Chain A
């Protein structure tokens, strides 16, 4: 949901997860959303907290899950940094100076999103650049009539 993606490659997930774990700051204990509380005085890892918060909100299954989730995160420094790091590492394929192995370079989401070839990966074919991409980019918030219908139908069928 943070990434608006339905399928994420496994090798990249492993590499990015490792980077996030190495880079997650822990400033203070999380709030009372996290019911388990500290174990033996040790604060829970923000990643576990993040998952716990999400699961609780999802269970409450409200329509505006995304909004409520974001709002909860925004109010918690540790969690919001963690969430941001997750998004940044998935999009950019790296975080600060932490680089994953070369194999996951092309999995960085940013390239798909901007319809670009990940630089350095051999490109698609000569001349591909002369035409608009097969999935043209539309202004944000612009959802053509047909697409809205499509989205609605898709949601119904899930």
Chain B
């Protein structure tokens, strides 16, 4: 398991704070390269046996089965000393000061939020990387799609993405770089919707439903079984058919379990139940240590030659700002003032309707198809693009189906066979289409450490100001129109739009990358402009975020960063100041 404590006089090669997706991938790559890595996480234990690699998720499953609230965090313990925002604890942890609440959640545990992500693994489209240039909106990335294309493929192999290489989803694929696994067989629901919407257009663009590339096995992969239709991707896949970061943490902690390990591979040193409270900087702007707090409130400082922050886009800026000192009054890595700014989520709009015949629900992954063809186009000058996610779970998000249907029918006096038949029909004829809207980055949407409200360890809670812009409202309007035309094609009736917005579970933008140190926090590798031995990872780096789930892009960027770090160790034992 993890070490109780670490020798504070030791200087590791790299210290990584955060054992989520990005932290795990980087830890694994660095461990393969023979670097001496310290992997820190607030979580208290891994849910696998590091000696044998055996997965140990049954306690998580049991917690889920007995939890009355079946939402994203329902399988996971909420650690008192490192609270995670979840649907039921959102405002217990977040301090909401904006005009709208920020609703996306994450899990502070070893393996991170990938335990309960849906698994959608889309690439961003090329124009997303140049939105300022092409559409006059947002900001350009210091990377183009071309720069990232090979890394996207590495990402798809690293986490195991199933998809159809012959289908164009707006992001070009090189020949000879196919998905590592064939596409997940579309559900009956998917097939019906795809057939019915053939030839449909919206504002001159095709409305095309396709199998969503997903990090979910369609054949055995990485020693994990293929999807068996457990219908529980969120909050937890019972058989690990869906990728979660424990795959790479396991290999990093024990290279003998990694088929790709080399003779150089060096096991990482894990330090769990460890919360990062401050990043320590010397007077030459070099990071000299991480100040860690343990559940018993004891503290220790760890040091390395190079540091990587991988605690996700809410905790990273919080810590950076909280680490402010007299010499760094705006916080660490924040001479630009953008740390914590441009907070984004994919704001979700939910619509649903009633089908004339059953398409069936809760069979297969929670969502396996979507429409990617309305994400990009000249309209992005004026309104958000969106992707449409087709749910395989009926209106469970919109209405709490099927449980709410049972209660409703019973209260209306249904019993016996009438109840059974009506329930079966009502639930299996549900359809829900969710729109993920592309947000416009807004400087005023921000997170800072609260000065007055603290968590049980005495660390500040995130104080958030969030709002949704006219750009997104205009996009939502278009989404609703598009959804209506789709429902019309399906012969669906009883169109409903759930009022308000919802969070997609994506926390992004708060430590944006860029060429210019005046307007960005770090370069395309995540190396902060202010501190050459400090790297940042995760979706906080993204200047713009398309309307697609960020995970695959996080993976691609992290792998590229890992390679860069390995190269910099190979070129110069002491990393020197360079862009």
Contacts and interface: CB of A to CB of B under 8 A. Distances in A.
B428 A137 contact: yes
Contacts of B186: 130
A41 interface: no
Given A114-B423, A128-B229, A88 B361 contact: no
A132 B188 contact: yes
Contacts of B227: 123, 126
B421 interface: yes
A87 B414 CA distance: 10
Interface stretch (B230-238, B311-319, B437-445, B507-515): B230-238
Interface residues of A, number: 51
B68 A97 contact: yes
Contacts of A91: 406, 410, 423
A151 to B, nearest CB: 10
Interface stretch (B59-67, B141-149, B530-538): B59-67
A31 to B, nearest CB: 19
Contacts, number: 155
B362 A3 contact: no
A87 to B, nearest CB: 5
B231 A88 contact: no
A127 interface: yes
B499 to A, nearest CB: 26
Contacts of B232: 119-120
Nearest to A101: B66
Interface in B403-445: 403, 406-407, 410-411, 413, 415-425, 427-428
Interface string A119-137: 1111111111111110011
B1 interface: no
A149 to B, nearest CB: 17
Given A84-B410, A117-B229, A126-B229, A110 B403 contact: yes
A4 B226 contact: no
B549 to A, nearest CB: 20
Contact of B191 (A118, A130, A137, A141): A130
A14 interface: no
Interface in B351-374: 358, 360-364
B185 A120 contact: no
B68 A99 contact: yes
A110 B400 CA distance: 13
Nearest to B421: A140
Contacts of A66: 415-416
Q: Is the interface of B mostly helix, strand, loop or mixed?
A: loop
B430 to A, nearest CB: 10
B84 interface: no
Interface string A71-92: 0001000000001100110011
B214 interface: no
B415 A83 contact: yes
Interface string A87-106: 11001101011111110010
B218 interface: yes
Interface in B321-375: 358, 360-364
Nearest to B422: A140
Interface in A5-61: none
B423 A110 contact: yes
B416 A110 contact: no
Contacts of A126: 185, 218, 226-229
B238 A120 contact: yes
A78 to B, nearest CB: 16
B361 A116 contact: yes
A132 to B, nearest CB: 6
A45 B255 CA distance: 63
B415 to A, nearest CB: 5
Given A92-B403, A113-B423, A116-B361, A4 B417 contact: yes
B363 A117 contact: yes
B363 A116 contact: yes
B402 interface: yes
Contacts of B416: 1-4, 66
A123 B229 contact: yes
A120 B425 CA distance: 23
A110 to B, nearest CB: 5
Interface of B: 61-62, 64-68, 70, 185-188, 191, 218, 226-232, 236, 238-239, 358, 360-364, 392, 402-403, 406-407, 410-411, 413, 415-425, 427-428
17 contacts: A70-B415, A87-B415, A87-B419, A110-B423, A114-B360, A114-B428, A116-B362, A120-B65, A120-B232, A123-B229, A123-B231, A125-B229, A128-B363, A129-B185, A129-B364, A130-B185, A137-B424
